Structure 1
Amino acid sequence: MAELTYDDFKNKLSIQDVLIDAGYTLNRRDGLRYPSYVRLDSEGRRIRGDKFIVTANGLCCFQPPTRKNYNVISFIKEHPEMFSDYTAGMDKDRLVNLVCNRLLNNPIEEREKKIINPQRDLPPFKIDDYKLHRFDGNDRETQKPFYPYFQPRGINLSTQYAFHHHFVLAERTVGDQTYKNLSFPMTIPGSSDGKIVGLEERGRRKQDGTSYKGMARGSNASEGLWIASPMGTKLQDAKRVFIFESAYDAMAFYQMLAGKDSNLTTQEKKELVGGIYASTGGNPSAKQFEGLLRTAKDATFHMGFDMDDAGMKFADMFRDLAEKANVPSNRVVREETNDGYKDFNEELLAMIERKNHPLAKGNVPEEYKAYVDSFRKGTDNIPSTKDVLHPNSEQIDLLPKSVQKLYARYEALYEDAYEMRSSRLVAPCDKEEAINQASEAWKTFKESLCKALDIKEDTAALDVESEDVGNDKKIQHDVDYTTSVDEQGNVAMEVETSDQEERRHYHR
């Protein structure tokens, strides 16, 4: 059979076939018009933030919120670790051929492996090639340039202070181009001189939500790691070592557990401050893990890898190496995110979003606390805006008197409009005027609530219920039984009915 080309692969394979092969499952709740695919954890629950949506033409997919389209070829090249055919260092074009031919049941000849001397085009990493801007804890002006890097990641100033000896802004000029990135210096575990052998780099967030991430040119990423400690603990003295795929995840984990909102005891927080935080800067290598295990001989190792398939493989890899190094299994702990988040930075951002929500407990004005609390399904639950804008009679009584009066006016106008509706003695134009007045009163009530609670309506329409009393419809104070109200507040006078720890975390 003739060798297939990239055009053949794109014409014969669906992006959905590739997503399924990469371990994704069709999310039927999103419908079939724009199919979405999600990853599931070991218990069959969705992993948050790990979702791809198929584009309208069915040829590509993208991962929200970033609108970067992947076709069959680019998806495989940019996510090689998701495919069983991939081995470390494999040529990406070779991987595409293996995956696509396998999916098409097209056998390809096994190539003889050649051992060649790798080209060494890149010179070894030299920190002297960079101009370094450091974060000075006593100089506010030196701290400001770091804001565009940390703020979108939710890393607060307190966490930046804790780790400020372990990151820099590294600026390098090549020709007439100058590059500046937030950089996390990498060292080899156990090295006597503490020489910096590379940089884990992160760029500023762009308008499309993406940002650069990678390694500095010539970095020794096979042995070097970012190794940091807020207290300045040496790796060989560490009692706890927390390992992540990125420095952002490490700092996010620390912030959630050592911050003022944490439920940990003072002693537990001290252990966190005295711990070692390490980042592999992406896919880890055996040498990185072996260096940590060899140097931190008495430590308990906490694995904070992502909650996707790749992260699970990294955890298994570390356990195998720890077993070979005679590290007891009770000193190897898997740290997991809450609520199915993909990584700890994603969980931190979600936590900040909840905390800043206008209906979060600490953000509701005092005179509305009892009212909003009546909608909560749990102590820290954030009720939906739709629920808060559609109270029942008991909840109405919890509102300030001035807002109760607005609702009472709407109720009275609505009942007048309803009575007019069935009367033959009222002109159609008067009926319409009554409906308009009720609609305006409803709008006024909702706008008052929205302004007081700093919320915006997020529902398209209010579904209403009906209740039969004899042959008539019953109207009550708290339920709009015979009308529907759209998001603009327009009242329609039709009768409609509708139905209303396996050491899981570090003491989290």
Structure 2
Amino acid sequence: MAGSYKVDFKSLKQRVGIDDVAYSLGYRLDKRAGVGRYVELVLGDQHSRRDTIVICNHRNKEAQTYFRRDGGAGDVITFIRENLSSFNVAGKSEWAKIANVLAKFANMPEVSCEDKVYTRKTASQTEFDINRFEIKRVSADTLPYLFAKRGFNLDTLNAFKEHICFIKDKMNDRFNGYNIGFPYSRSADGNIEGFEIRGATGFKGKAAGTNSNSAAWLADIKGCRESVDHLYFFESAFDAMAFYQINKPRISHQNMAFVSLGGTFSDMQ
């Protein structure tokens, strides 16, 4: 009966490859990069690549891993997790949603409970550590290419700059540069519990261990969190910034705040 069994992440990984998930999201094989031990999948066309992933062990679904040259790496579960907002699935937690995505690709019914042994193990391995990152402030003088490429102007950057930073993952030996980080928190004290990340070559994801269950990116751009009267929710921080820039003449009088969940709501959010 549908929903009457417990998901086994390890077993599902034997049936679902990173390439299966990537192709469903619109990635395609880059034949110019060659097909050998590694394959490259690209999102977008040759004139506008939004993302490129390199898949290792592509002939063995269970052993497949991926990495990006400008940051980000993992297995099929990591890849689903960073693209979770692209799948129309429900679940009481982020892990429940990931389990249901895997079940769909494996042609199995949705699940009612998670593999708690696996999720505890994975969570302990990826507990968020702020000391892992070098953090730099964003200013109008350091407007990066990625912001300009997406059409954001200086007014928009100035409005959000207190809620954006440059981050460098000191444990990433494949990329020694900075990405754009949108800090996640869940209280007024502003303690950072993760980052939504965007990179110059299309990389998008979250920092290892980011609290996606009860934290979010919150930008109260007028600095009056206690008296906010308009709250806008988005799937990404870039979406929030784009909405603000387009609608600024209409909403500038509001005491507003913007929230990015990096996907869909969890029960605790």
TM over 0.5: yes
1:131 alignment counterpart: 134
Q: TM-score scaled by structure 1?
A: 0.34
CA contact (8 A) 1:173 1:179 kept: no
Residue of structure 1 in register with 2:218 after alignment: 227
> 2:184 corresponds to which residue?
186
Aligned: 1:270 with 2:253: yes
Per-residue CA distance 1:365-409 (angstroms, 9 max, x = gap): xxxxxxxxxxxxxxxxxxxxxxxxxxxxxxxxxxxxxxxxxxxxx
- Mapped to 1, the partners of 2:27 and 2:173 lie a distance apart of 39
SS of 2:99's partner is coil
1:198 pairs with 2:194: yes
Secondary structure at 2:160 match in 1: helix
Asked if 1:253 is matched to 2:240, the reply is no
SS at match of 1:286: coil
Displacement after TM superposition at 1:254 (Å): 0.5
Q: In 2 relative to 1, CA 62–157 (structure 1 residues): closer, same or farther, beyond 3 Å? A: same
TM-fit CA distance, 1:62? 8.3
- Alignment correspondent of 1:150: 147
Change (3 A) 1:94 1:162: same
2:268 — aligned with what? 287
Say if 1:147 and 1:226 are closer, same or farther in 2 by CA, change over 3 A. Answer: same
1:122 aligned onto 2:87: no
Take 2:100 and 2:236, find their aligned partners in 1: how far apart are those partners? Answer: 24
For the residues of structure 2 that align with 1:175 and 1:196, how far apart are their CA atoms? Answer: 20
RMSD: 4.4
SS state of the match for residue 194, structure 2? strand
Structure exhibiting the larger radius of gyration computed from Cα positions: 1
For the pair 1:89 / 2:90, whether they are aligned, the reply is no
Amino acid at match of 1:181: N
How far 1:183 moved relative to its partner?
0.4
1:195-238: CA deviations, max 9, x gaps?
11111111112xxxxx111111121111111111221121x321
Q: Which runs of 5+ in 1 are unaligned?
A: 1-5, 10-14, 20-50, 56-60, 103-109, 206-210, 289-508
Distance 1:281 1:93, change over 3 A: closer
Distance 1:112 1:124 in 2: 22
Structure 2 residue matching 1:159: 3-state secondary structure: helix
Higher relative contact order (CA 8 A, sep 6+): 2
Query: Whose strand fraction is larger, Structure 1's or Structure 2's?
Result: 2
Whole-Å Cα distance in 2 between the matches of residues 169 and 250 of structure 1?
18
Asked if 2 retains the 8 angstrom alpha-carbon contact of 1:122 and 1:217, the reply is no
Structure 1 residues 85 and 135: CA distance shift in structure 2, 3 A? closer
Return the alpha-carbon distance in structure 2 between the equivalents of residues 132 and 112 of structure 1. 37
Deviations 1:262-302 (A, max 9, x none): 4x3xxx4221xx310111122331212xxxxxxxxxxxxxx
After superposition, the Cα gap between the structure-2 partners of 1:277 and 1:92, relative to the gap in structure 1 and judged at 3 Å, is closer
Gaps of 5+ in 2: 1-12, 30-40, 54-60, 65-75
User: What letter is aligned with 1:132?
Assistant: I
2:148 is the alignment partner of 1:162: no
- The separation in 1 between residues aligned to 2:165 and 2:243, in whole angstroms, is 20
User: What's the CA shift for 1:113?
Assistant: 7.0
3-state SS in 1 of match to 2:268: helix
Deviation of 1:135 after TM superposition, in Å, equals 2.4
3-state secondary structure, aligned to 1:254:
helix
Shift of 1:84: 6.3
1:186 Cα offset (Å): 0.9
> Which residue pairs with 1:240 in the alignment?
230
Partner Cα distance (1:53, 1:176) in 2: 25
* Structure 1 pair 168–95 and aligned structure 2 pair: CA distance change class (3 A): same
* SS of corresponding position for 1:278: strand
Q: Distance in 2 between matches of 1:281 and 1:226?
A: 8
CA contact (8 A) 2:89 2:100 kept: no
Q: Give a deviation string over 1:51-99, Cα, whole Å, max 9, x none.
A: 96999xxxxx986445979xxx999x85776466985131765432226
Shift of 1:112: 9.4
Is the Cα contact below 8 Å between 1:245 and 1:284 reproduced in 2? no
The alignment partner of 1:196 has SS state of coil
Given residue 170 of structure 1, which amino acid in structure 2 is its aligned partner? I
Kindly provide the amino acid, as one letter, of the partner of residue 234 in structure 2. Answer: F
C-alpha displacement of 1:257: 1.2
C-alpha distance in structure 2 between counterparts of 1:227 and 1:195, whole Å: 12
CA distance in 2, matches of 1:282, 1:112: 21
Name the aligned partner's letter for residue 97 of structure 1: A
Q: Which residue of the partner structure matches residue 170 of structure 2?
A: 173
Shift of the 256–90 alpha-carbon distance from structure 1 to 2, 3 Å rule, reads same
8 Å contact 1:85–1:98 — kept in the other structure?
no
**1:121 deviation in Å?**
3.5
